[in-house]
Amino acid sequence: MNVQELLAPLGLNFKLLFIQLFGFLILFWLLKKFLFGRVMEMVQKRGDEIRSAYEENERTRDEVKSLQSEYQQKLQEARKEAEEIIQSATEKAEKAGQEIITKTRQEADDLRKRGLAEIEQEKQKVISEVRTDVVNLSVEIAKRLIEKSVEKQDAEKLADDVIKKLGGVTL
Amino acid sequence: MATEAHGDSAAHAAQSAEQKLELPSFLDFTGLDMHHQYFGFTLHEWLPVIMSGIVGLVLVSFSLYATRRMEKIPRGSQAFIELVVEGLYDFISGTLGKNTAKYFPFFGTLFIYIITMNLWGLIPLMHSPTNQINTTLSMAIVVFVLYNFEGIRKKGWGYFKHFFEPLFLAPLMFPLHVIGEFVRPMSLSIRLFGNLTGEDLTIALLVMMTPFIFGLIPVPIHLVMVLMALLFSTIQATIFTLLSAVYLSLALDEDEH
């Protein structure tokens, strides 16, 4: 009794079995080509894209971190620089202000001194003029008096005395 | 004389197999004679082949439809088919490990084909091709050839080493191993065929026993068995695929069995 006879009650038939086997192989080929091939390709592609996007994301994040750190550093440097500039400017301004004040004071002082000198000069001038006028006036008076009653020599002596007395006068 | 007796018994067995209890198929309504010979077989014998053909056609058509325009963000049928394929991949990778990618299309086809054929019989006027030994044995033979071929390809003559182990019992173990090797496809095919035949017979029997309320309203008592058949069909497809993957995995394994 061969295998086919043994399994005949189960309905075994080698020809039908071969047809089914051939059909299965054709189906396998078709599904491999049109189902598993395509789906696995898409899954692989998607996986690659996700991986690449993830890597890109990681890279970008690293870059952002690096840039952020760089930015922070630059910001700190800028702040420091700004502070230095402000400090330097303040110092310069203070110095300039001080200089201006000193200069102004100096100028004011000079002006005051010059003014005082001028006043003094004017005063001396006025005194001198007054003195001259007084002398002239005295002389004129003396001349007139002398002309009336006193000798010329007495008149001059008198005039000198008047002048000497006038020398103590202050304005 | 003996040959004639053998021939008679085979013919009788085939006839009794053909006459087993089953529900009608759509071919019974075409008016064609189910016992008429077409290309050497009766239409009834062609039935599982026709059903397998329809299942294959449905699977290929759906695959073509679902993968006609693959998009990065899957939707509808593409999402479904991707879910199935990726689920199957994970399932098979549990057994095949690093070899999964290479053999996945084969085992994926095996599982999808078997489960669809198993469930096909639950559709009215359709039959499960897997309730025929020709269908199940054909797949088991392909599996048998595949894992032996791959084992020999990978290990060369060293593949046959395990037939003689343990060495001191080689004369005793060799025939046992050879028998064990050939029993594998038999057990694979007969398990699936037997289960599906049992399911279909039970459903057919329950359908025939359907009671009618007032002789008009049928009570579908076979529905419970249909629900169970959904579970059994899935389990049988899983077992067939998983055992096939295990056989291949053992054949490819670096360590001896």
**Residue reference for tokens 């086809």:** B109
- The closest CB to that of B63, out of A23, A31, A41, belongs to A31
Reply yes or no on whether the pLDDT at B173 is more than 70: yes
Is the pLDDT at A93 greater than 70? The verdict is yes
Query: CA-CA distance, B119 to B131, in Å (whole number)?
Result: 11
**Does B129 contact A at CB distance below 8 Å?**
yes
B88/A150 Cα distance (integer angstroms): 159
Residue B213: helix, strand or coil by DSSP?
strand
Q: How confident is the model at residue B5 (pLDDT cuts 50, 70, 90)?
A: very low
Least confident of A96-100, B16-20, B71-75, B98-102: B16-20
* Average pLDDT in chain A: 84
Q: Note whether A34 and B67 are within 8 A (CB).
A: yes
Residue B145 pLDDT > 90, yes or no?
Answer: yes
Note the pLDDT tens digit of each residue in A30-44.
Answer: 999 999 999 998 888
Say yes or no to pLDDT of B232 above 90.
yes
Q: Assess whether pLDDT exceeds 70 at residue B154.
A: yes
CB distance B82 to B74 below 8 Å: yes
By Cβ distance, the residue of B16, B59, B86 closest to A31 is B59
Tens-digit pLDDT profile for residues B26-76: 888 888 888 888 888 888 889 999 999 999 999 999 999 999 888 888 888
Question: Residue B142: which of B95, B174, B107 has the closest Cα?
Answer: B107
Contact B197, B131 (CB under 8 A): yes
State the distance between the two ends of chain A, measured CA to CA, in whole angstroms: 168
Which chain A residues are within 8 Å of B60, Cβ to Cβ?
27, 30-31, 34
Q: How confident is the model at residue B1 (pLDDT cuts 50, 70, 90)?
A: very low
Check if A47 contacts B (Cβ < 8 Å).
no
Phi, psi of B36 (to 5 degrees): -80, 145
In A, minimum Cα distance to B7 occurs at A5
Note the pLDDT of residue B9: 45
The verdict on pTM exceeding 0.80 is no
Contact B189, B133 (CB under 8 A): yes
Given a cut of 80, whether residue B2 has pLDDT beyond it is no
Percentage of chain B exceeding pLDDT 70:
91
pLDDT of the residue at B92: 94
Helix (H), strand (E) counts: chain B? 7, 4
Domain boundaries defined on chain B = 23-252
Least-confidence region, from A163-167, B107-111, B133-137: A163-167
* A chain contacts of residue B52, beta-carbon cutoff 8 Å: 20, 23-24
CA distance B247 to chain A (A): 19
Of A5-19, A122-136, B13-27, B93-107, give the lowest mean pLDDT range: B13-27
Residues of chain B positioned with their CB less than 8 A from the CB of A9: 13, 16-17
Q: Is B36 helix (H, G, I), strand (E, B) or coil?
A: coil
Q: Give the SS3 label for residue B121.
A: coil
If you ran DSSP here, which 8-state letter would residue B254 be given? S
Q: B51 in contact with A at a CB cutoff of 8 Å?
A: no
pLDDT in tens, B65-81: 999 888 888 888 999 99
Assess contact for B115 and B213: CB atoms under 8 A.
no
